[in-house]
């Protein structure tokens, strides 16, 4: 699944990023590395989402959310 | 020891570098609570224990790669400039993410001192940081500070002076992972996996063999492993046999692995308390209510600007009235030449005095905007507006410069620097002047009160809606023209909400008020004097106003302005002079129509009577406001626009196309309005 399909209020582990290399490296530098934790705080119809990565909140556009792949639901694991 | 030590302030965006810089230098640089406030390098001097320090405040960066403009500039400055010591300012409440840049800075090979800022917030949240363990693991001194309360800043500078020659101190740490055969653990805080360390050694060997004048081999080697384009070009050595592909991903991952080790050891009680920010965000970034709430906040800001501002303005105008009549009587008493009295009373007092009465409105507007900027809401606006901006091919981030445009176009244009994509940046720059800046406010206040006494606020409000609407349509058209480029993805940090800080607000508002007063004393003063001369002279010397230079210019252009309902030559002249600064439209009216205190009840009444006598109606007044809203940016904005767009061509373009749009929109409104 991608972040875009995730549910608000839940925490997930990142499986991989699959986007333009430039943005991918930037996100990694911000701490969104493989197997790191990402918490989806809220999302809206347009597709932008608010996530928490290593204690910091970020707003991410739809294009980015659709390219962040997650391991299934962390709460159930 | 060198006489002067250059100290660079580096850190993530919004971690308090500028606050710290202000605390040392006494400078009054703008600080606020959103990432990207500082876009330019600023220097200041500070003396401590008979030593001079040159402090350099740099734009915030998340990492030392060469992906964004700020990163490139800051990195180049540290590498090439003569920075002796780096102060890495770190937001202690987001230690984990901030340490990434710290590790990169340490690898640069220059002395680094870690300033742990915002320790008060850490304590507030019940977290604790082990200040003994952290320096052991990083090998650099760590000094807790609180820039806002100026705590710990002497200790920090003391540490800098003692640390200037020692890049890495004692390290007491063994990595959990990997067992590299080299004895690196006592040399570098972060030791990578065996594979990467071996590659670093191989690359270092080749760099040394090439005999380049390089000191920090390890950093260069790492950048080669990351295939950093700038460094590869600089070295100009072929490494393709050693590092066929970029290892940047691995290097980033391993840095974060190490950071996790650090956090596990030094940070206690992580996220124990429920955070206020999440509760506030529930409302302000609500999927449905987020946008209406934003519009509501903006409406409230302008309501306060007009209502409270006007209330204060009344008192203010009494004061100005008193002063101007006192000067007038004084001039009579010392019996100065009539022309000089006319220059002072009809030129300077009418122009400058008239403009001063709007100060309360401006004050309230900037006070509100500073609350908005200092609270942490600005980044949320980017999120809330992202979907709307997406429809015109821009990211929500482009809305920040536009929103700042309600204050003043010049800093708003500069804020567009943080946009990464060139064409988005250009489009944002070209539409930002449509946002109604504070300088246009006097025009609305004056004319809406004069012609729409009952609906003055509503009419003024409409300008704040029409401006953004025109901006959005213009951006849309440009987007269609450039072939509907892919929308850039939104990526912005959302800082914690903070109670706005009294000091930063005071700095912000005072700087704006000072700007306004300075403008009244310089641009508006000079414009009023020049206008007075143009109004009272022609080639034959002193003359009647109707035959003056100004009248000739106005009458020449009046046919062009007739279809938009602004055919009076005085109005045409006022509009032309308004390019100097938008307030000048109002001050010029004072001079042109000989009205001393234009914003007072008496001034409005007499000005209104003159205009009505010329056949000027409410519709004409509305078109005048529209025209002022949309036409050419002011001189300062034109200059900034040319600089930010890297080409004077765009500055000229903006003058022409904005004036064209202003004419077109006012034309439509005037012609359609005339039908009824």
| Residue B2 pLDDT level (bands cut at 50, 70, 90) | low
pLDDT at residue B278 tops 90: no
For residue B252, list chain A residues with Cβ-Cβ distance below 8 A.
25, 28-29, 33
Residues of A with CB under 8 A from a CB of B: 22-23, 25-31, 33-34, 36, 41-48, 50, 53-64
For residue A36, list chain B residues with Cβ-Cβ distance below 8 A.
256
pLDDT at residue B51 tops 50: yes
B275 touches chain A (CB under 8 A): no
* Residue B177 confidence (pLDDT): 55
For residues B669 and B325, which has the higher predicted lDDT (pLDDT)? B669
* Residue B184 confidence (pLDDT): 67
* Residue B271 confidence (pLDDT): 63
* Residue A77 confidence (pLDDT): 43
Question: Are the C-beta atoms of B88 and B101 separated by less than 8 Å?
Answer: yes
Q: Do B97 and A31 touch (CB under 8 A)?
A: yes
- Average pLDDT of chain A to the nearest whole number: 87
For the ranges B269-273, B447-451, B649-653, the lowest mean pLDDT is seen at B269-273
Residue B30: other Cβ atoms inside 10 A: 16
* Residue A37 confidence (pLDDT): 92
The 10s digit of each residue's pLDDT in A3-27 is 998 999 899 999 999 988 888 888 9
For residue A47, list chain B residues with Cβ-Cβ distance below 8 A.
387
Query: CA of B95, closest CA in chain A: separation in Å?
Result: 9
Element (H, E) at A12: strand A11-17
Q: Do B252 and A33 touch (CB under 8 A)?
A: yes
For residue A46, list chain B residues with Cβ-Cβ distance below 8 A.
386-388, 390
Q: Do B494 and A57 touch (CB under 8 A)?
A: yes
Residue of B nearest to A25 (CA): B249
The CA distance from B192 to B177, in Å, is 9
* Residue B209 confidence (pLDDT): 86
pLDDT at residue B336 tops 70: yes
The stretch B231-256 carries a mean pLDDT of 88
Which of A9, A53, A56 best probes binding to B when mutated, by most B CB atoms within 10 angstroms? A56
For residue B609, count CB atoms less than 10 angstroms from its CB and return exposed for 0-12, middle for 13-18, buried for 19 or more: exposed
Query: CA of B394, closest CA in chain A: separation in Å?
Result: 11
B391 touches chain A (CB under 8 A): no
Nearest CB among A33, A44, A53 relative to B290 is that of A44
B63 touches chain A (CB under 8 A): yes
Query: ipTM of this complex > 0.90?
Result: yes
For residue A54, count CB atoms less than 10 angstroms from its CB and return exposed for 0-12, middle for 13-18, buried for 19 or more: buried
CATH assignment of B194-268? Answer: 1.10.287.1770
* Residue A76 confidence (pLDDT): 46
- The torsion angles phi and psi of B34, rounded to 5 degrees, stand at -155, 150
User: Looking at chain B, which residues constitute the CATH 3.40.50.300 domain(s)?
Assistant: 4-163
Residue B250: other Cβ atoms inside 10 A: 15
Q: Do B100 and A29 touch (CB under 8 A)?
A: yes
- The torsion angles phi and psi of A57, rounded to 5 degrees, stand at -85, 140
The CA distance from B456 to B445, in Å, is 8
Question: Among B478, B303, B307, which residue's Cα sits nearest to residue B398?
Answer: B478
* Residue B228 confidence (pLDDT): 87
B396 touches chain A (CB under 8 A): yes
The stretch B584-613 carries a mean pLDDT of 87
Query: CA of B102, closest CA in chain A: separation in Å?
Result: 12
Residue B521: other Cβ atoms inside 10 A: 12
CATH superfamily of A3-76: Ferrous iron transport protein A (FeoA) (2.30.30.90)
Partners of B86 in the β-ladder: B8, B112
The CA distance from B327 to B333, in Å, is 10
pLDDT at residue B641 tops 90: yes
User: Looking at chain B, which residues constitute the CATH 1.10.287.1770 domain(s)?
Assistant: 194-268
Share of chain B above pLDDT 70, in %: 96
- The torsion angles phi and psi of B57, rounded to 5 degrees, stand at -95, 125
* Residue B8 confidence (pLDDT): 92
One CATH from 3.40.50.150, 3.90.226.10, 3.40.50.300, 1.20.1560.10 for B4-163: 3.40.50.300
* Residue B39 confidence (pLDDT): 82
For the ranges B126-130, B209-213, B554-558, B665-669, the lowest mean pLDDT is seen at B209-213
* Residue B328 confidence (pLDDT): 84
* Residue B175 confidence (pLDDT): 60
The stretch B174-199 carries a mean pLDDT of 73
* Residue B274 confidence (pLDDT): 57
The 10s digit of each residue's pLDDT in B107-162 is 988 899 999 998 888 888 888 999 999 998 999 999 999 988 888 999 999 999 88
For residues B611 and B347, which has the higher predicted lDDT (pLDDT)? B611
Question: Among B359, B367, B355, B354, which residue's Cα sits nearest to residue B302?
Answer: B367
B247 touches chain A (CB under 8 A): no
pLDDT at residue B181 tops 60: no
Pick the most confident of B68-77, B161-170, B533-542. B533-542
């Amino acid at each position: 699944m991608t972040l875009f399909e995730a549910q608000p209020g839940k925490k997930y582990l990142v499986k991989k990023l699959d986007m333009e290399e430039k943005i991918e490296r930037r996100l990694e530098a911000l701490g969104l590395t493989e197997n790191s934790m990402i918490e989806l705080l809220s999302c809206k119809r347009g597709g932008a989402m608010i996530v928490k990565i290593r204690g910091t909140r970020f707003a991410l556009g739809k294009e980015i959310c659709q390219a962040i792949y997650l391991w299934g639901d962390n709460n159930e694991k | 020891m060198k006489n002067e030590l250059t100290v660079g302030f580096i850190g993530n965006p919004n971690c308090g570098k500028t606050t710290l810089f202000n605390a040392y230098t006494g400078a009054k640089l703008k600080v606020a609570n959103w990432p990207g406030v500082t876009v330019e390098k600023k220097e200041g001097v500070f003396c401590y224990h008979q030593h001079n320090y040159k402090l350099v405040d740099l734009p915030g960066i998340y990492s030392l790669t060469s992906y964004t403009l700020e990163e490139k500039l800051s990195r180049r400055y540290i590498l090439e400039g003569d920075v002796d010591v780096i102060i890495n300012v770190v937001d202690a409440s987001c230690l984990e993410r901030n340490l990434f840049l710290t590790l990169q800075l340490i690898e640069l090979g220059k002395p680094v001192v870690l300033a742990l800022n915002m320790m008060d917030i850490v304590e507030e949240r019940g977290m604790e940081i082990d200040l003994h363990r952290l320096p052991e693991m990083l090998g650099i001194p760590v000094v807790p500070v609180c820039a806002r309360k100026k705590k710990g800043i002497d200790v920090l500078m003391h540490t800098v002076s003692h640390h200037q020659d020692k890049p890495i101190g004692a390290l007491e740490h063994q990595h959990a992972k990997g067992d590299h055969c080299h004895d690196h653990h006592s040399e570098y805080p972060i030791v990578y996996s065996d594979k990467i360390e071996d590659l670093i050694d191989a690359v270092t060997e080749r760099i040394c063999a090439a005999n380049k004048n390089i000191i920090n081999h390890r950093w260069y080697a790492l950048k080669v492993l990351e295939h950093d384009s700038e460094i590869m070009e600089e070295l100009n050595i072929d490494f393709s046999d050693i590092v066929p592909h970029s290892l940047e991903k691995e290097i980033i991952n391993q840095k974060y692995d190490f950071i996790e080790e650090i956090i596990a050891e030094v940070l206690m009680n992580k996220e124990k308390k429920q955070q206020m920010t999440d509760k506030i965000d529930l409302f302000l970034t609500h999927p449905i209510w987020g946008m209406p709430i934003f519009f509501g906040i903006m409406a409230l800001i302008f309501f306060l600007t007009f209502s409270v501002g006007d209330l204060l303005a009344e008192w203010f105008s009494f004061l100005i009235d008193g002063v101007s009549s006192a000067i007038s009587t004084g001039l009579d008493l010392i019996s100065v030449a009539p022309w000089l009295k006319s220059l002072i009373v009809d030129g300077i007092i009418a122009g400058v005095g008239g403009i001063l009465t709007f100060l309360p409105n401006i004050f309230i507007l900037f006070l509100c905007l500073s609350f908005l900027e200092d609270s942490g809401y600005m980044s949320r606006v980017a999120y809330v507006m992202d979907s709307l901006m997406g429809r015109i091919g821009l990211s929500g981030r482009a809305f920040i410069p536009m929103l700042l445009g309600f204050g003043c176009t010049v800093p708003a244009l500069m804020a567009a620097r943080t946009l990464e994509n060139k064409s988005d940046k250009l489009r944002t720059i070209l539409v930002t002047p449509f946002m109604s800046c504070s300088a246009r406010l006097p025009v609305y206040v004056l004319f809406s009160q004069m012609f729409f006494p009952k609906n003055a606020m509503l009419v003024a409000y409409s300008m704040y809606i029409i401006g953004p609407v025109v901006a959005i349509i213009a951006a849309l058209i440009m987007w269609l023209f450039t072939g509907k480029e892919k929308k850039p993805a939104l990526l912005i940090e959302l800082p914690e909400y903070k109670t706005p800080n009294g000091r930063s607000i005071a700095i912000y508002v005072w700087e704006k008020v000072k700007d306004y007063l300075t403008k009244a004393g310089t641009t508006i003063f000079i414009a009023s004097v020049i206008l007075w001369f143009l109004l009272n002279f022609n080639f034959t010397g002193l003359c009647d106003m109707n035959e003056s230079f100004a009248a000739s210019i106005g009458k020449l252009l009046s046919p062009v302005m007739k279809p938009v309902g602004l055919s009076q030559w005085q109005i045409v002249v006022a509009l032309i002079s308004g390019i100097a600064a938008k307030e000048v439209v109002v001050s010029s009216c004072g001079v042109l129509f000989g009205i001393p205190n234009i914003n007072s009840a008496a001034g409005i009444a007499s000005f209104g009577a003159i205009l009505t006598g010329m056949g000027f109606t409410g519709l004409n007044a509305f078109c005048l406001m529209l025209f002022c809203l949309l036409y050419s940016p002011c001189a300062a904005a034109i200059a900034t626009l040319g600089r930010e767009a890297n080409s004077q061509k765009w500055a000229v373009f903006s003058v022409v196309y904005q004036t064209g749009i202003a004419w077109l929109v006012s034309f439509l409104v005037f012609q359609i309005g005339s039908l009824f």
